[in-house]
């Protein structure tokens, strides 16, 4: 191989590599996938569960009576039966809040 042939081959490899590195990520984004330069996949950040007293909106050292009253007040706000007419998305959200409130109440009563 002569020098011009070697130079053409090297330039072709460099240009080809550049084209692939530029257009392959764009093609992946257009198809909805991740391009190769995205890097390692990370787990989405999961927010930590709030403490039971934050869910029930009481002080941490509240009495059992205060906890029960707060539970009744909070569960009445998010009870799924009260939001049936608002649509399926809000019903699911209310069910999630009700589960969280029930879990907080059970935790509070177990600690008392």
Please indicate, yes or no, whether the overall pTM of this predicted structure exceeds 0.75.
Answer: no
Q: Which two tokens stand for residue 54?
A: 């934050």
CA quadruple 50, 55, 59, 63: dihedral, nearest 10:
-120
State the pLDDT at residue 74.
93
Q: What is the CATH number of domain 52-111?
A: 1.10.287.110
State the pLDDT at residue 34.
53
Give the helix ranges, DSSP H, for the chain: 3-30, 52-56, 64-78, 88-111
pLDDT along the chain (112 residues), means of 10: 86 84 74 55 66 92 94 89 83 90 94 81
State the pLDDT at residue 86.
82
């Amino acid at each position: 191989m002569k020098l011009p042939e070697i130079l053409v081959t090297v330039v072709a490899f460099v240009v080809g590599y550049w084209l692939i590195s530029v257009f392959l990520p764009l093609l992946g984004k257009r198809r909805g996938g991740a391009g190769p330069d995205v890097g390692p996949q990370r787990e989405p950040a999961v927010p930590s569960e709030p403490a039971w007293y934050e869910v029930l909106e009481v002080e941490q050292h509240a009495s059992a009576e205060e906890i029960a009253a707060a539970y009744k007040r909070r569960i009445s706000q998010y009870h799924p039966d009260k939001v049936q007419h608002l649509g399926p998305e809000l019903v699911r959200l209310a069910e999630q809040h009700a589960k969280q409130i029930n879990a907080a109440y059970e935790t509070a009563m177990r600690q008392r």
